Amino acid sequence: MNRKHVRLGTILTILPIIPAMLWFSLHREAYDPPPIRLEVSLSRRELVVIERGEIMLTYSIAVGRPNHPTPTGSFRTGDIVWNPGWKPPDVAWARDLEYQPPGAAANPMQGVKI
């Protein structure tokens, strides 16, 4: 057997492995559960923080209204900001509201912004 045949055999052996490795790297998060998971119950108005399968914290939450319903389903979060300030959005209902600094009793964000 010459080197050309050995090289070809090596390439043919490795070639099917490459797509499998790419597929696994793109879908790995489906197999690796996240270290922290958030679950929301709209009916109980509650957010639960689950770490490694154990409930760590529970928070009361606000939910949407019929004209602005809370979305349902599975989602990935972006940034989590602890103890955020709150700037009123530029919409009619918030026109007379003022900025609330972190920790302010009137701050609707309270302890976390997800």
pLDDT digits (tens, 9 = 90+) for 92-101: 999 999 999 9
Question: Which residues lie closer than 8 Å to 37 by C-beta, 6 or more apart?
Answer: 49, 50, 51
User: 61 is written with which tokens?
Assistant: 């939450």
Rounded CA separation 28/16 (Å): 18
Q: Are 43 and 18 members of one domain?
A: no
Residues 108 and 82 in one domain: yes
Number of domains in the chain: 3
DSSP annotation of 70: P
Cβ atoms of residues 61 and 45 within 8 Å = yes
Same domain, yes or no: 16 and 5: yes
The model's confidence at residue 16, banded by pLDDT at 50, 70 and 90, is low
- SS3 assignment, position 21: helix
The answer on 87 and 70 residing in a single domain is no
* 41: pLDDT strictly greater than 60: yes
| pLDDT value of position 55 | 94
Does 72 share its domain with 89?
no
Which residues are 37's β-sheet partners?
50
In angstroms, the CA 79 to CA 72 distance is 19
Question: What are 55-64's contacts with CB under 8 Å, separation 24+?
Answer: 59/111, 59/112, 62/108
pLDDT tens-place string over residues 44-81: 999 999 998 899 999 888 888 888 888 888 888 778 88
Could you tell me the residue range of the domain that residue 99 belongs to? 77-114
Q: How high is the pLDDT of residue 114?
A: 78
